[in-house]
């Protein structure tokens, strides 16, 4: 994770930078799996120190917080608590403990794949039609794009195939190499 710690008309020392990196890293890794970068800016407003924090996650979430206190460390600690609260709420939302789902998501077991051949066929090379490698009669879960993204984020899968609630078409959400989520929707 990349940190950018700076001050506006304030010299941010090594001790403060070490404190910021340690505290913010603990808060972020507790609730987020793939943080990308954090930007912390200290400034002075009257007699108070102001701390602005912006944390970007690879899922696209941006957590922002601002706090002001009489001491610079206290300003950062208050700001870090606000960021941690946003990340905690985001993770809780992904888990969705408060929401009851009528249908559970079914994942296809790789052992259920079957090769099929026609009766009387000894060798697939003599048969001119393509061979069916895998066949299943599982139904696609019906999600909105947002719900599918939440399911993908909860699972360790690289993609999820679902029927879109809006147009009932089959859609695919997948993890991109840069950590973001891609969406394939037929036109």
Token pair listed for 169: 């078409």
The pLDDT value recorded for residue 124 is 45
Q: When comparing pLDDT for 16 and 153, which is higher?
A: 16
Segment among 100-104, 130-134, 170-174 with least mean pLDDT: 100-104
Mean pLDDT computed over every residue of the chain: 80
Domains of the chain: 2-95 (3.30.160.100), 110-184 (3.30.505.50)
- For the cut 70, the answer to whether the pLDDT of residue 109 exceeds it is no
Q: What confidence tens digit (pLDDT) does each residue in 35-83 have?
A: 788 999 999 999 999 999 999 888 778 889 999 999 999 999 999 999 9
Cβ neighbours around 153 below 10 Å, total? 19
How many CB atoms sit inside 10 A of residue 29's CB?
Answer: 12
Q: How much is the pTM?
A: 0.53
Q: How many CB atoms lie within 10 A of CB 38?
A: 21
Least confident of 21-25, 103-107, 129-133: 103-107
Work out the percent of the chain whose per-residue pLDDT is above 70. Answer: 78
Judge whether 37 and 58 are in contact, CB under 8 Å: no
Contacts of 100 (CB under 8 A, 6+ apart): none
């Amino acid at each position: 994770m990349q940190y950018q710690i700076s001050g506006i008309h304030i010299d941010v020392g090594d001790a403060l930078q070490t404190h910021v990196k340690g505290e913010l890293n603990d808060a972020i890794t507790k609730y987020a799996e793939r943080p990308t970068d954090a930007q912390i800016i200290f400034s002075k407003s009257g007699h108070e120190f102001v701390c602005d924090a912006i944390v970007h996650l690879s899922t696209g979430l941006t957590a922002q917080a601002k706090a002001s206190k009489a001491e610079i460390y206290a300003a950062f600690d208050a700001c870090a608590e606000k960021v941690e609260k946003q990340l905690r709420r985001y993770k809780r939302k992904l888990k969705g403990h408060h929401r009851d789902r009528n249908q559970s998501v079914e994942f296809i077991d790789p052992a259920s794949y079957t090769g099929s051949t026609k009766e009387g066929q000894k060798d697939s090379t003599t048969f001119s039609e393509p061979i069916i490698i895998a066949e299943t009669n599982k139904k696609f879960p019906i999600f909105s794009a947002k719900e599918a993204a939440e399911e993908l984020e909860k699972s360790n899968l690289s993609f999820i195939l679902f029927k879109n609630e809006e147009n009932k078409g089959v859609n695919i959400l997948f993890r991109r190499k840069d950590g973001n989520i891609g969406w394939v929707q037929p036109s």
